[in-house]
A and B are shown apart, each in its own frame.
Chain A
Amino acid sequence: MPSPSWPIRTERLVLRPFTTDDLESLHAIHSDEGVARWLYNDPRSRGETRELLGHKVGGASVRAEGEWLSAAAVLGETGELVADIALLWASEAHRQGELGFVVHPAHQGRGYATEASRPLLAFAFETLGLHRVVGRLEPRNAGSARVLEKLGMRREAHLVENEWVKGEWQSELVYAILAREWRDGSAGTGQGPSRH
């Protein structure tokens, strides 16, 4: 059952599986209006966050395509949860994946999403053997777009007003990076996306 070697330590962060003790901090992220603004869903109630956390606790490893790997990114010094990072093993046959993240409103703009996404991209390419990982976002979600670009992901598509979301036409950017680009070090030095 493919799984990262938890915990994963980066310069400032520790990535680990979610536990049931993460409810309060996870809810602070998923109940926030600003965080949900460019996602498909509305801010979550406490009960919805509890259900979400239950699934994330089970996401410490992936067994097959279609499954999400979930990582809690916490500050190395304090253990405070700063981001919810996830990787979808989208297709085994096509060796595709998708990266997603949301950052705690009090910790945005500090490069945590980028720093936390890199180990998941490494897991995607080096352990799962994926060929391509994508990130999708609404173009007005400029902060997440910067993260994807810092990760070295290439903007491949700008779909103009392709979806009716939250009472308005929204657009979609698709970013992607290939395994060889990751290996060649074109993964940049910054931070990663998405609408999840």
Chain B
Amino acid sequence: MGRTVLIVDDHAGFRSAARALLEAGGFEVVGEASGGAEAIAAVERLRPEIVLLDVQLPDIDGFAVAARLPPCRPAIVLISSRSVASFRRRLEANPAWSFISKSDLTVEALTAVAG
């Protein structure tokens, strides 16, 4: 099996599209979460290798979720409809975090930053 992924986004439509894209590309999507608190619990339970984590969640900001996850595993890939320029300073706070704009999300892009 490919690397395991947890998809975190408050839009079910995006989660479905991302799941289809990643599964077709060989990743194993082990779970989905629609909010930050749910994501933190899901990481604990599912132990994914990669967390695809939307910045703009309705309960906890994606960066705050990332900060509450274990420091080494999983790989954190933040995603947003906004551009990387909007988050550059916050991303610099933790070099282990990666970022992909939602419009640029492909199997190749995810593999490049977390593969």
Query: Which residues of A approach B to under 8 Å, CB–CB?
Result: 40-42, 44-45, 47-48, 51-52, 54-56, 58-59, 64-68, 70, 88, 90, 162-165, 196
Contacts and interface: CB of A to CB of B under 8 A. Distances in A.
Given A40-B82, A42-B13, A66 B56 contact: no
8 contacts: A47-B12, A51-B35, A56-B58, A67-B61, A68-B59, A68-B61, A90-B61, A164-B83
B10 A64 contact: no
Contacts of B61: 65-68, 88, 90
A171 B83 CA distance: 12
Contact of B12 (A48, A64, A90, A163): A48
Label chain A's interface by main secondary structure.
mixed
Interface in B73-115: 80-83, 85-86, 103
Nearest to A48: B12
A48 B83 contact: no
B11 A41 contact: yes
Given A65-B61, A67-B60, 20 more contacts: A40-B81, A41-B11, A42-B11, A48-B11, A48-B12, A51-B34, A52-B34, A52-B58, A55-B10, A58-B59, A59-B58, A66-B36, A66-B60, A66-B64, A66-B67, A68-B58, A70-B58, A88-B61, A163-B83, A165-B81
Contacts of A163: 81-83, 86
B37 interface: yes
Nearest to B66: A66
Contact of A64 (B13, B57, B64): B64
A100 to B, nearest CB: 10
A162 B81 CA distance: 12
Nearest to A68: B59
B38 to A, nearest CB: 8
Contacts of A162: 83, 85-86
Contacts of B6: none
A68 B64 CA distance: 11
A47 B14 CA distance: 13
Nearest to A52: B58
A50 B35 CA distance: 12
A139 B82 CA distance: 16
B5 interface: no
B27 interface: no
